[in-house]
Structure 1
């Protein structure tokens, strides 16, 4: 009798869990569908939170009623969601497909554990945007033509077009049949805003950092008197490094990381730089500023070409 009551109670718990799982999966898939349309950063963050909360809740609830396979499959989706966190970094086709595949693993685990089919849940992998007017296939071809026209050696490593090509390939592989051009334009506008902000910070802070770097040529008490100024430069360098990371300027991020380490060692009196080394570092800082300006300029030109292509389509 006790066993029968226990079985009935477990069935009731599973029934409630199934309802909850359906609700969370629907929210997760809706969020994934919208995420593939390049929403604004604030909305992007909310969608990521929705998906993370969904798989975490699924995993936690499954654990409470002893469904280990569902728990494991749910929590295993978190790294794939984290890979899509940055709204300014184009999610690759592989990023989206990996997440979709893991969601499929959750469906399978749920079906096997509960005996209820979850195969009919909506999926970002087969999303269909009915009202959007831009064909991903056509736009991909246009982008590929633009890419072929680009110089093979731009000198900056900037390639907005290639980034969008990867996104379009992801859209096509995910089954999206139409895209609103304004979503692409909105994405490009946000990238532009971030890059222009980065360039403004470079123009404002690099000359000041160079000026303080030259203080390292001084010796003895003079250098000690200027250590406070050098410590202030550490904050500026850290800020530039963070902004470089935000706009995915890899070379700049690596440079400012190295410069931050060097200045930290100097201010902590662990190293003393020779005048020639100071000049070398200062010169590289100046060249990095020029390289970033070129990087941003190439981004502007490529975004203009993409925008023109959107209007033509």
Structure 2
């Protein structure tokens, strides 16, 4: 179905807002990734991974909201690799960093060309996702080759939700989109798992929460989209010199 000029203008505005938000998360994540690639001291690496995870999670959630499926799949596809690399306590390899960088560059390229493609298409998405998944699987097995991997019920401070909550506290008082997204995720986790259980929510469950929130956002956006002609007509009537 051919879109009207009003629908095209609305789409451009929505995508423009997404690009502004995405650029913030890309800059945040890329700065941290560049530092990781230069092998910082070990006690810095955990914070750097936290920064990348938060940025990628927010970008993936926002991409899902505006139905940029390639960006959504690639962003969430990087999370298992990031989690596995972080669990190695700094013992990352060039292969792991290379796969992470390839995926991240795919995100950067898709966002940069979004004004032209309107779809956020990622070239060679399937090969990138396949490589990232393979490296993530190898990374998840790596701790078993040396010292035993820590149990999944490790100290609460290392949980995904605690890291998201810490990021939220660090940005308290700001009005950026990242903070609002994190608030929604944490609020839903507390609602679904209670005050004692929400901190134990793992990364796949966080992704599921984000997807559920995105479906709610999609319904809202679809409703707004359907009402655009009516809204535009109201504004046109108000702007008319014959309006009361």
* Shorter-chain TM-score tier: 0.3 to 0.5
Which entry has the higher C-alpha Rg, 1 or 2?
A: 1
TM-score (norm 1): 0.35
